[in-house]
């Protein structure tokens, strides 16, 4: 196949949808401070509230007021953990239960609470990345303040049974938080069906702009602002409204909702095509993550005998953009904490690649990747000290 550029890193971020981009450019005219009382301000505010409704609808929240706009997933997650710090500090429950496979913004926030003297449990996952429910039930008790489990994993795509996990948290009287950054817009998400008290979202994963995200907070659940200041977002998140970001988020959410069914079907089909193609093209590779309960767009594969960064850069030279499961390329030399938690061992963890598809992916993209991966792995294996 002829050389082409293929973006298969949608879990890292997505391109801005042309419709969203066009609308955002038009809305640049909407410069007024949405807190201002004059007509221009009220107009901006009204658009922001429309966005809030669209986001609320996407996640099945009946009351849009329960959605707070933040700068993204990291801020939303940190706001929840900061809230727990304030709650736990003043007495009562202090236990935090989370997992070993969370995004670094949750892991590091949890480690911060551990340093502050909170008892923190990092739950194990099985070989597919599914949370160990027995261990969860043992870990959660009358001392538990928060259970925080991501809805779907960014590296391997495994989807957790948040409903069952939330039921355990609720039965113990603990708050339930889920980082749904990778789930919103990819699988059906319902805060009520899942029974979460807090839920994190990020707009740049669903074809909207970067630097904008949301936090769902169930009525009656406490929230401590991370950023103090004005009365924006009911005082829970100060700072002049990010008009363009919020409008982009609203539009992206609206489109994501109407297209979800088609997305799951089409992208899921591409994922299967990619998986089957790679398995046929490369002997002895291994698909990571759960075989069924997995995001429709995420395919994580280990190629024993070859190292992830070398594979990534070889693909890059062919115009294919992917991520390693290993964080080696991004600065840390330790193999992916997610894959290590699934027990694959350092060699398979180092030799893993995350292919994440998106709404612009095509069969031609998939076939091109399949045509290139075989020779790349064969070349790296021929140089390798590791036999497989």
Ligand X SMILES: Cc1ncc(COP(=O)(O)O)c(C=O)c1O
For the annotated catalytic residues, the residue numbers are: 328
Q: Which of 223, 336, 242, 245 is nearest to 289 (CA)?
A: 336
Selected from 73, 88, 296, 325, the binder of ligand X by CB under 6 A is 73
Q: Choose the contact partner of 72 out of ligand X, another protein, none; CB within 5 to 8 A by kind.
A: ligand X
Shortest spacing between CB 110 and ligand X, in angstroms: 13
Q: Choose the contact partner of 331 out of ligand X, another protein, none; CB within 5 to 8 A by kind.
A: another protein
Tokens describing residue 54: 């669209």
Where on the chain is the footprint of another protein (CB under 8 A)? 305-310, 313, 317, 326, 328-329, 331-335, 346-347, 350, 382-386
Q: Which residues pair with 321 in a beta bridge?
A: 7
For 179, phi then psi, to 5°, come to -85, 105
Segment near ligand X (CB under 6 A); pick from 177-185, 235-243, 248-256, 360-368? 177-185
CA gap 358, 219 in Å, rounded: 34
Tokens describing residue 357: 């598809």
CA gap 4, 2 in Å, rounded: 6
105 lines the binding site for ligand X (CB under 6 A)? yes
115 in Cβ contact with 145 (< 8 Å)? no
The CA–CA distances, whole Å, from 344 to 16, 62, 286, 337 equal 35, 41, 10, 11
HSE of 318 in the Cβ direction (CA atoms, 13 Å)?
21
Length of the chain (residues): 388
Binding to ligand X (CB under 6 A): which residues in 133-152?
150
Shortest spacing between CB 316 and another protein, in angstroms: 8
Q: Choose the contact partner of 213 out of another protein, ligand X, none; CB within 5 to 8 A by kind.
A: ligand X
Q: Choose the contact partner of 73 out of another protein, ligand X, none; CB within 5 to 8 A by kind.
A: ligand X
Q: Choose the contact partner of 103 out of ligand X, another protein, none; CB within 5 to 8 A by kind.
A: ligand X
Give 309-341 as a DSSP string.
Answer: HHHHHHHHHTTEE-EESSSGGGT--S--HHHHH
CA dihedral of 73, 76, 80, 81, whole degrees rounded to 10 = 60
232 lines the binding site for ligand X (CB under 6 A)? no
Comparing CB distances to ligand X, the nearer of 213 and 351 is 213
Shortest spacing between CB 158 and another protein, in angstroms: 23
Comparing CB distances to another protein, the nearer of 225 and 308 is 308
187 lines the binding site for ligand X (CB under 6 A)? no
Comparing CB distances to another protein, the nearer of 308 and 358 is 308
- Binding residues (CB under 6 A) for ligand X: these are 72-74, 103, 105, 150, 154, 179, 181-182, 202, 213
């Amino acid at each position: 196949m002829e050389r082409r550029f293929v973006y298969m890193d949608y879990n890292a971020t997505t391109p801005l949808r042309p419709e969203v981009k066009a609308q955002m450019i038009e809305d640049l005219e909407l410069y007024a401070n949405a807190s201002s009382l004059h007509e221009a301000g009220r107009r901006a505010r009204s658009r922001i509230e429309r966005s809030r409704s669209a986001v609320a609808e996407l996640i099945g929240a009946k009351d849009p007021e329960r959605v707070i706009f933040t700068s993204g997933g990291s801020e939303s997650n940190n706001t929840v953990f900061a809230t727990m710090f304030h709650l736990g500090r003043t007495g009562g429950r202090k236990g935090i239960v989370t997992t070993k496979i969370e995004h670094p913004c949750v892991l590091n926030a949890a480690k911060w609470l551990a340093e502050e003297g909170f008892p923190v449990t990092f739950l194990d996952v099985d070989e597919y990345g599914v949370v160990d429910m027995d261990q969860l039930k043992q870990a959660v008790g009358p001392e538990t303040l928060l259970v925080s489990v991501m809805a779907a994993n960014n590296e391997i795509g495994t989807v957790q049974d948040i409903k069952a996990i939330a039921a355990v948290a609720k039965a113990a009287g603990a708050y339930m938080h889920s980082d749904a950054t990778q789930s919103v817009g990819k699988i059906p998400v319902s805060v009520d069906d899942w029974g979460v008290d807090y839920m994190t979202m990020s707009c740049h994963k669903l074809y909207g702009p970067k630097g904008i995200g949301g936090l769902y907070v169930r009525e009656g659940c406490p929230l401590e602002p991370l950023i103090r200041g004005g009365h924006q977002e009911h005082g829970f998140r100060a700072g002049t409204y990010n008009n363009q970001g919020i409008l982009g988020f609203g539009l992206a959410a609206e489109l994501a909702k109407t297209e979800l069914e088609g997305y799951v079907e089409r992208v899921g089909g591409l994922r299967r095509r990619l998986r089957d193609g790679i398995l046929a093209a490369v002997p002895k590779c291994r698909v990571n993550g759960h075989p069924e309960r997995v995001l429709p767009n995420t395919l994580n594969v280990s190629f024993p005998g070859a190292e992830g960064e070398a594979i990534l850069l070889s693909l890059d030279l062919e115009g294919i953009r992917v991520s390693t499961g290993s964080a080696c390329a991004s600065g840390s030399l330790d193999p992916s904490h997610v894959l290590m938690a699934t027990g694959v061992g350092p060699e398979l963890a180092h030799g893993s690649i995350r292919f994440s598809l998106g709404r612009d992916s095509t069969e031609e993209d998939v076939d091109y990747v399949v045509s290139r991966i075989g020779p790349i792995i064969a070349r790296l294996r021929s140089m390798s000290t590791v036999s497989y």
